[in-house]
């Protein structure tokens, strides 16, 4: 049994993978969770070759039973949780008049309801120990709804509200809750494909590096209780805001 673990729910190829690596290299048993865990097998293999402890597990964050089973398994079979990150995306652009009920509900389930389930279960395990960190990944849509992003904005705004309520409930009991607004494009495979249209004239450091996000999350976890950050929002130097 390792002494502590870090759980990343929504361990995608960019932000999630970077967070997974950061905490593993900092000495945590890092657990990456997604519906298709085999997609991060190369990340797990890389960390294991470096001598770190990491594994990938399958879980659908929208399913209450699966989330409950996930937390129980980590606490029982892997290591006590110290850090929980909810990083599920669901950024699917579509106009409201073209958004079906099914699509709207699915986006809300992924980006908001899944965050509620993850935060709730994390709190249940961290509160008895009176220590630990829960971080929710937000976006520009957490603060304002843009044309074509009505469903996503409603879900991300809802997630922010859940994080605010959870923070007010459990921070006085020793659990650090933080919501991070990523107000910019992140260097992912998808963004690299569309970046010529987004930024025809590229400049150095003009989109967010996932490793920079992971570093911020780690620093938030290390903060002293006398100076906890609830909300951080960041963007590249050239981003308009």
Nearest to 126 by CA among 5, 41, 238: 5
Tell me the pLDDT tens digit for each residue of 23-49.
999 999 999 999 999 999 999 999 999
Report, as an integer, the average pLDDT of 153-169: 97
Beta bridge partners of residue 234, listed in sequence order: 182
CATH value at residue 183: 3.40.50.720
Report, as an integer, the average pLDDT of 199-204: 80
Residue 97: inside a domain, yes or no? Answer: yes
pLDDT at residue 1 greater than cutoff 60: no
pLDDT at residue 66 greater than cutoff 70: yes
Report pLDDT for 34: 94
SS3 145: coil
pLDDT at residue 2 greater than cutoff 70: no
pLDDT at residue 192 greater than cutoff 90: no
Task: Provide the percentage of residues in the chain whose pLDDT is more than 90.
Answer: 79
d(CA 122, CA 120): 5
Residue 84: inside a domain, yes or no? Answer: yes
Report, as an integer, the average pLDDT of 43-63: 96
pLDDT at residue 91 greater than cutoff 90: no
Report, as an integer, the average pLDDT of 187-212: 81
Q: Which is more confident, 150 or 192? A: 150
Residue 225: inside a domain, yes or no? Answer: yes
Report pLDDT for 200: 77
Label residues 192-222 b or e (16+ Cβ within 10 Å = b).
Answer: eeebeeeeeeeeeebbbebbebbebbbebbe
Residue 240: inside a domain, yes or no? Answer: no
Q: Tell me the pTM.
A: 0.93
Report pLDDT for 93: 80
d(CA 90, CA 108): 8
Contact, 83 vs 7, CB < 8 A?
Answer: yes
Residue 239: inside a domain, yes or no? Answer: no
Nearest to 239 by CA among 141, 154, 148, 140: 140
d(CA 95, CA 145): 12
Residue span of the structural domain in which 162 resides: 5-234
Residue 121: inside a domain, yes or no? Answer: yes
Give the chain's domain count: 1
Report pLDDT for 103: 93
Task: Provide the percentage of residues in the chain whose pLDDT is more than 70.
Answer: 99
pLDDT at residue 203 greater than cutoff 70: yes
Type and span of the H or E element at 21: helix 15-25
Tell me the pLDDT tens digit for each residue of 109-142.
999 999 999 999 999 999 999 999 999 999 998 9
d(CA 20, CA 8): 7
Calculate the CA dihedral of residues 118, 119, 120, 126 and round it to 10 degrees: 110
pLDDT-derived band of residue 188, with 50, 70 and 90 as boundaries? confident
Residue 12: inside a domain, yes or no? Answer: yes
Calculate the CA dihedral of residues 163, 159, 161, 240 and round it to 10 degrees: 100
pLDDT at residue 240 greater than cutoff 90: no
What does the mean pLDDT of the chain come to?
A: 93
Residue 241: inside a domain, yes or no? Answer: no
């Amino acid at each position: 049994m390792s002494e502590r673990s870090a759980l990343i729910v929504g361990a995608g190829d960019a932000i999630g993978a970077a967070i997974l690596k950061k905490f593993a290299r900092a000495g945590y048993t890092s657990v990456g969770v997604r519906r298709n865990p085999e997609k991060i097998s190369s990340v797990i293999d890389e960390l294991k070759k470096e001598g770190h402890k990491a594994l990938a597990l399958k879980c659908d964050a929208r399913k209450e039973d699966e989330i409950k089973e996930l937390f129980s398994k980590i606490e029982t079979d892997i290591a006590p949780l110290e850090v929980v990150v909810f990083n599920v995306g669901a950024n699917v652009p579509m106009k409201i008049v073209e958004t079906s009920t099914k699509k709207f509900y699915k986006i809300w389930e992924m980006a908001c309801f899944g965050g509620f389930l993850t935060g709730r279960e994390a709190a249940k395990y961290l509160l008895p120990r009176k220590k630990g960190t829960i971080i929710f990944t937000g976006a520009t849509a957490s603060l304002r709804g843009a044309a074509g992003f009505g469903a996503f904005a409603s879900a991300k705004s809802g997630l922010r509200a859940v994080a605010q309520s959870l923070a007010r409930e459990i921070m006085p009991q020793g659990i650090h809750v933080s919501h991070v607004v990523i107000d910019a494009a992140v260097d992912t495979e998808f963004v690299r494909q569309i970046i010529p249209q987004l930024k025809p004239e590229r400049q150095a450091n003009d989109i967010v590096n996932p490793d920079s996000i992971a570093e911020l999350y780690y620093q938030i976890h290390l903060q002293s209780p006398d100076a906890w950050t609830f909300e951080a929002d960041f963007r590249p130097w050239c981003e308009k805001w």
